[in-house]
Amino acid sequence: MSDRELQSLDGVITELRAPVPVRAEWRAGLLRGVAMLPPPGTMSTGLPGERHWRVRPLAAVAAGVACAVAGAALTALLLGRPQRAATSEDLTSLTATMPLPGEPIIRSTVRFLYVAPYAARVALVGDFNGWNPAAMPMRRSPDGRAWLIDVPLVPGRHVYSFVVDGDLAADPAAPRAGDDDFGIPSSVVLVTGAKT
């Protein structure tokens, strides 16, 4: 495209570059939405001896983690009965088990499990910990094949991933989050309320 050819569109480009007014109430709503989100996780705590995570930006943030559906099945297989995990059937009953306004929110413990016998370090990241790889390191199972962590979660839908030796990994047996960002592999767990 020559400069001369482009010059014929100068007026068009100038018009298109004109600022689009930002509505104050829309901006305020946007910032309120941000304030309602959990703080984004930091990649480093600065603690001595902490390992540097190799989480790449666009491939990024914490990915891969435990869908309790698969976690429950694998845990039952490897380690016995899981404590409490969501199943796909819970989807339809999820709203029915959500606490009503004024009711105490009862957290349900969900066991996340990832089979990685040769990994040196596995962590759980998700919207419940600000996608912070340092927040929830997983422990190796007694047989050394899998990595586990039990997390108390409020009822609802949670998106999560695993960080395996610094790389993101989705839970192969879990439903994928439909709103993956930048191809980040994210999984979903539905937690029902633990009504007493």
Binding residues for other proteins, rule: CB under 8 A, are 1, 5-6, 8-9, 12-13, 15-23, 26-27, 29-31, 33-35, 37, 39-43, 55-62, 127, 130-132, 179, 181-182, 184
Nearer to other proteins, 40 or 142 (CB): 40
* Minimal distance, residue 106 CB to other proteins, in Å: 21
Nearer to other proteins, 114 or 131 (CB): 131
* Minimal distance, residue 168 CB to other proteins, in Å: 9
Nearer to other proteins, 23 or 81 (CB): 23
Nearer to other proteins, 35 or 100 (CB): 35
Query: HEC string of the chain?
Result: CCHHHHHCCHHHHHHHCCCCCCCHHHHHHHHHHHHHCCCCCCCCCCCCCCCCCCCCCCCCCCCECCCHHHHHHHHHHHHCCCCCCCCCCHHHHHHHHCCCCCCCCCCEEEEEEEECCCCCCEEEEECCCCCCCCCCECEECCCCCEEEEEEEECCEEEEEEEEECCEEECCCCCCECCCCCCCCCCEEEEECCCCC
Nearer to other proteins, 59 or 120 (CB): 59
Q: For the chain, how many residues are written?
A: 196
* Minimal distance, residue 24 CB to other proteins, in Å: 12
* Minimal distance, residue 87 CB to other proteins, in Å: 26
* Minimal distance, residue 138 CB to other proteins, in Å: 18
Cα–Cα distance between 62 and 162 in angstroms, integer?
6
